[in-house]
């Protein structure tokens, strides 16, 4: 397997794993918990789901894939309509599936192509790495919030208990 194929495989795997963990977390929460916030300077889980969706669409679908950039980033954080959590998860999963289609099979030369996104001049590899890293960071925020709200061990690392 080539380095570029392995990079793409790992990026896709990370996005899928995080998406699954987010879905598990949201499934344990009420809509009020998904949209709750401790203060105006904090983001609700619902806002983070909108934000991740926007980030994937802007950086991968638009930046790497060439689709039109229609993102309105500030609205991701301003939203207060209490959109159904299942709909938010479905939107996020759809964005990840579309991103996977865009990055699957990119060659080394394509990964090294430069592009502009959010005012940054980056390679497509950098853009994909940014999205995977960004997605992971917010996933762990959602996991932490879910643990605080439910008091549960979510079991994501249960397989390590016997080691």
Residue 163 pLDDT exceeds 70: no
3-state secondary structure of 123: strand
Total domains in the chain come to: 1
Domain ranges, residue 65: 3-160
> What pTM value is reported for the model?
0.94
Task: Check which CATH number belongs to the domain holding 82 and give it.
Answer: 1.20.120.450
Give the separation between CA 93 and CA 87, rounded to whole angstroms. Answer: 10
Which region, left, alpha or beta, applies to residue 98 given φ > 0 means left and ψ of -120 to 50 means alpha? alpha
> pLDDT at position 162, please?
74
Tens-digit pLDDT profile for residues 111-162: 999 999 999 999 999 999 999 999 999 999 999 999 999 999 998 988 888 7
Q: Give the C-alpha separation, 87 to 34, whole Å.
A: 12
Q: What is the pLDDT of residue 39?
A: 86
The pLDDT tens digits for 53-93 are 999 999 999 999 999 999 999 899 999 887 999 999 999 99
């Amino acid at each position: 397997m080539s380095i570029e194929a392995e990079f793409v495989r790992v990026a896709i795997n990370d996005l899928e794993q995080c998406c699954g963990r987010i879905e598990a977390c949201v499934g344990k929460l009420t809509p009020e918990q998904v949209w709750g916030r401790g203060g105006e300077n904090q983001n609700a889980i619902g806002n983070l789901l909108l934000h991740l969706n926007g980030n994937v669409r802007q950086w991968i679908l638009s930046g790497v894939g060439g689709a039109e950039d229609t993102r309105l980033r500030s609205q991701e954080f301003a939203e207060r309509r209490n959109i159904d959590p299942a709909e938010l998860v479905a939107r996020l999963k759809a964005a990840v599936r579309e991103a996977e289609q865009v990055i699957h099979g990119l060659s080394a030369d394509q990964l090294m192509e430069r592009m502009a996104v959010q005012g940054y001049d980056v390679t497509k590899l950098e853009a994909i790495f940014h999205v995977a890293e960004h997605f992971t960071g917010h996933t762990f925020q959602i996991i932490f919030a879910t643990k605080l709200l439910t008091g549960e061990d979510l079991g994501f690392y249960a397989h390590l208990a016997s080691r």
